[in-house]
Amino acid sequence: MADSNLKPKKIGYQYGLVFLVFGLAMIGVNAIMLYLGNNYFPKLLAIGIALSILSLVFFIFPGGVSSNKMVGKDINKELWNNAPRLHKIMWIIWAIVSVICAVFALISFDPEFYK
């Protein structure tokens, strides 16, 4: 009975958590590799940065669909269709910003760039 009183969680929060965990894991793996062996995977680091930035946007703008209403439906389609327009715009803008940050991270870690 106590479960029925709980506020339903929005799918965007779950996406944000998954993106944050994967992004921080990729950044952490690169930090450990850089500390131990003085090498790293710059593309993996850039993807980790992009996912971490994008995860924050999903926490701030989670969309409008709760997880209780998603039984037997395509989650991604329902999340996009039922999200407010502002959330969709912010998802697109911050996806572009996170890709730009990832590209700048790749450029800045390239040793040939500074020659």
CB atoms within 10 A of CB 38: 7
In 65-104, which positions are buried (b, 16+ CB within 10 angstroms) versus exposed (e)?
Answer: beeeeeeeeeeeebbeeebeeebeebbeebeeebeebbee
| C-alpha R_g of the chain | 18
Contact of 66 with 9, CB cutoff 8 Å? yes
Q: List the chain residues with pLDDT less than 70.
A: 1-9, 65-73, 110-115
The pLDDT value given to residue 13:
86
The pLDDT value given to residue 1:
44
